[in-house]
Amino acid sequence: MKIAFPTQQDSGIDSAVFGHFGTAGTFIVVDSETGEVKRIGNRDLNHLHGKCQPLVALGGQAVDAVVVGGIGGGALRQLNAAGIKVYRAVEGTIAENQALFEAGKLPEVTINQTCAGHQGLSGCHH
């Protein structure tokens, strides 16, 4: 399974999971079966608010899931329509969140839990 984690500072799997999908500078994609780690620069970083194109942001990289601190409703709908589930990260590293994801301990994000605006550079206003 390929899992995408948004991050601001790329330290591989030791990176902190970022608080908002659309404004993450980088996505770290971890293949849970092979252990392969890929880095993808956000190809939709400078989009207008509310106009995030998550599949463009991921550079066309096929993923099965996204683990993130927050995400807008439009981005969530687009990912879900493409068959990609989105899960709520806990504060911590990609490695920590990957372990929780694989243990089934991260909740899937619903439309009622999406970002309603921004506070600062990294935060969603929920």
12: CATH: 3.30.420.130
Residues 4-31 have a mean pLDDT of: 93
- Does any domain span residue 124? no
Task: Calculate the alpha carbon distances from 114 to 63, 88, 124 in Å.
Answer: 20, 10, 9
Tell me, yes or no, whether 89 lies in a domain: yes
Which strands, in side-by-side order, build the sheet including 26-31?
37-41, 26-31, 2-7, 65-68, 85-88
Q: What is the mean pLDDT of residues 87-106?
A: 97
Task: Report if residue 50 sits inside a domain.
Answer: yes
How many Cβ atoms from other residues are within 10 Å of residue 6's Cβ?
30
Residue 6 forms part of a structural domain: yes
On whether residue 36 sits in a domain, the answer given is yes
The rounded mean pLDDT for the chain is 87
Give me the sign of the Cα torsion angle 17, 67, 42, 19. negative
d(CA 100, CA 80) in angstroms, rounded, equals: 21
Identify any residues that bridge with 72 across adjacent strands, giving them in sequence order. 115
Residue 125 counted as domain residue: no
63-95 pLDDT, tens digit each: 999 999 999 888 899 999 999 999 999 999 999
Q: Identify the domain containing residue 77 by its residue range.
A: 2-116
Query: pTM value?
Result: 0.87
Alpha-helical runs (H) found in 32-107 = 54-57, 73-81, 94-102
Number of domains composing the chain = 1
User: Looking at the domain assignment, is residue 60 inside a domain?
Assistant: yes
In a domain, 23, yes or no: yes
